Amino acid sequence: MLHKPWRRVAVATAGLLALTLISACSEDPGESKDLSENRVGAMEKYGVGDQFKATEALSFSTLYNNHTFYPLKEDWLFWSELTKRTNVKIEPVAVPLSDYEQKRSLLIGAGDAPLIIPKTYHPQENAFVSSGAILPVSDYLDLMPNLKDKIAKWNLKPEIDNLRQSDGKFYLLPGLHEKPTQDYTVLVRTDIMQELNLATPKTWDDLYAVLKAMKAKYPNVYPYSDLFSKPNPTGALLNILGSAHGTQAGWDYQHATWDAAAKKFHYTGASDQYRQMVTFLHKLVAEGLLDPESFTQTDDQARQKLANGKSFVVTGNAQTLVNNHRPDLAKTLPNAKMAKIPLPVGPAGEINPFPRLENGIMISTKARESKNFVAMMQFIDWLWYSDTGLEFARWGIEGTTFTKDASGKRTLNPGVDFLGLNPKAPKHLQKDFGFQNGVFAYGGSPDLVRGFFSPEELEFQKVMDARTPRVVPPPAPLTDEEREQVSLWETPLKDFVTQNTLKFALGQRPLTEWDAYVAELKAKNSEQYIDLVNKAYERFQKNNG
């Protein structure tokens, strides 16, 4: 969540390509192979709440997404303490954040991938299933008691089932959230709003009115100039704007969206909801309220415009607000103030769009042949899914980086900063200690996830908690043959939707050509795509109703 500001988590809707509700007996690890030769280093008795510690020193190679904000350091306390607690050493295979997905694909394709492959967003794992390069992790859930416990306690079975493939198994161990914690929203210069006597906008129409007032006062400014133009133009803005309109766009884009009223899927980029979103986006650009360079400029260019008073509004989250925009403004416009506003409400109503599954872990198939396989799965279960492991990855070491009172409330030590909680502290939780690292820290209960939140951020979450969670779509499992077919359609379709979204927004293509655009989508097999998905949905209902 907070640690990955340039990418939204993939939503559960992507699971329409997955099979669901296969009986639990298919997830018995004994179904695959006898594990008696793969237990070296494993604990004989390991259950919920147990501290995992390998019975001999082990090491596991792990693909490591090297974040520019907290570059990898070999002397982080995270590494040494992890080994102290678990008797396991992680061997990171570091890849720059900007090249992570491409490098991951190359390593897996060449058979050189590390054993543990984190930071994978569903449905990215689909590309590696048919080759047999990654493990069907659902076969080994009995080795992961903490994961199973949280799925049961937090009623996550519908979300988990949406990860399943055509063989009934799933190949990704996702980060689990007890409750959705929406982070991305609109960040606004509140001092400008106060100057113009403007109330905090509740809806996108209210925000439009705010932008109009800003433009009237400052005609030479584009009030909204956005970041995140890569890999999708304004991916974050389209993400939150799309969800407000009941569709999926930007980072969130998936080809099929569930229509609960009609009880069928429709093609996202051709839907009325998508058209309404594009129409609103076009209006912002046409009236000079959204900077047209938002679709192409670098993040640094967008930050500079905001810092120099050339814009007042940007899409972001708590981390970009605290780590980037407020420090930028403090240097150039020291009287400026900026804040997150609750996610503006659109035609879809007051929803909380954040999914409860986050990015997750793939396991290389070659790990299954290791004599230490069972120990590795126990280790993963402890670090990513146990209460103790989750606390360790996020907060660090009690007494060193945080304290805990009698009620269990955690407080960051005053000598350690994170998200601006202790801005004058000499140490930073991520940069100097390696905790709150996006490779290892995601998911958890609200008290764990939100423990770092400022009163300002907790107020934001209070508003979002009162909203209706996003509906988990039903499964629509494709057969292998169907998946092979749609894989030929997906990239051309998505590229075409992205290109025309940009053209409509910028006025390079008139909105009067929407019907022609939909016809062009049909010529690229959008209807055939959706027909397959809906047939898969109906087939599942018939077989499992």
pLDDT in tens, the chain (545 residues): 333 333 333 333 333 333 333 333 344 444 456 899 999 999 999 999 999 999 999 999 999 999 998 999 999 999 999 999 999 999 999 999 888 999 999 999 999 999 999 999 888 898 898 889 999 999 999 999 999 999 999 999 989 988 888 787 899 999 999 999 999 999 999 999 999 999 999 999 999 999 999 999 999 999 999 998 877 788 899 999 999 999 999 988 999 999 989 999 999 999 999 999 999 999 999 999 999 999 999 999 999 999 999 999 999 999 899 889 999 999 999 999 999 999 999 999 999 999 999 999 999 999 999 999 999 999 999 999 999 999 999 999 999 999 999 999 999 999 999 988 899 999 999 999 999 999 999 899 999 999 988 899 999 999 999 999 988 888 887 887 888 899 899 999 999 999 999 999 999 999 999 999 999 999 999 999 999 999 988 987 887 75
Boundary residue ending a domain (300, 329, 352): 352
Question: Are residues 284 and 319 part of one domain?
Answer: yes
Grouping H, G, I as helix, E, B as strand and the rest as coil, residue 203 is strand
Question: Are residues 133 and 81 part of one domain?
Answer: yes
Per-residue confidence (pLDDT) for residue 4, from 0 to 100:
37
What's the rounded Cα separation, in Å, for the pair 510 and 450? Answer: 44
Query: Angle of helix 480-506 relative to helix 272-286, nearest 10 degrees?
Result: 30
Grouping H, G, I as helix, E, B as strand and the rest as coil, residue 532 is helix
In DSSP notation, 428-488 reads ETTTTT--S-TTT---B-HHHHTTT--HHHHHHHHHHHTSEEPPPPPP-PPPHHHHHHHHH
Question: Are residues 212 and 106 part of one domain?
Answer: no
Q: Report the predicted TM-score, pTM, of the whole model to 2 decimal places.
A: 0.80
Question: Are residues 387 and 488 part of one domain?
Answer: no
CB-CB contact of 154 with 464 (8 Å)? no
Question: Are residues 114 and 101 part of one domain?
Answer: yes
Expressed as residue numbers, the domain containing 313 is 185-352
Residue 316 has, within 13 A of its CA and on its CB side, a CA count of: 26
Boundary residue ending a domain (326, 352, 378): 352
In total, how many domains does the chain have? 3
Q: Work out the burial of residue 75: count CB atoms within 10 Å of its CB; fewer than 13 is exposed, 13-18 middle, 19 or more buried.
A: exposed
Q: Where are the beta strands (DSSP E) in 317-454?
A: 338-341, 351-352, 357-363, 402-404, 410-412, 416-417, 427-428
| Closest to 175 (Cα-Cα) out of 201, 191, 154, 202 | 154
Question: Are residues 161 and 65 part of one domain?
Answer: yes
| Closest to 356 (Cα-Cα) out of 157, 521, 99 | 157
DSSP tag of 350: S
Q: Which uninterrupted H or E stretch holds 24?
A: none
Any idea what the CATH number is for the domain that residue 82 is in?
3.40.190.10
Query: Side by side, which strands form the sheet with 338-341?
Result: 313-316, 185-189, 338-341
Question: Are residues 348 and 200 part of one domain?
Answer: yes
CB-CB contact of 384 with 175 (8 Å)? yes
Boundary residue ending a domain (352, 379, 401): 352
Question: Are residues 229 and 96 part of one domain?
Answer: no
CB-CB contact of 238 with 507 (8 Å)? no
Per-residue confidence (pLDDT) for residue 95, from 0 to 100:
95
Question: Are residues 361 and 344 part of one domain?
Answer: no
Per-residue confidence (pLDDT) for residue 545, from 0 to 100:
59
The total of other beta-carbon atoms located within 10 Å of residue 492's CB is: 11
Per-residue confidence (pLDDT) for residue 438, from 0 to 100:
93
Question: Are residues 365 and 318 part of one domain?
Answer: no
Question: Are residues 500 and 428 part of one domain?
Answer: no
- Assigned domain for 10 exists: no
CB-CB contact of 64 with 95 (8 Å)? yes
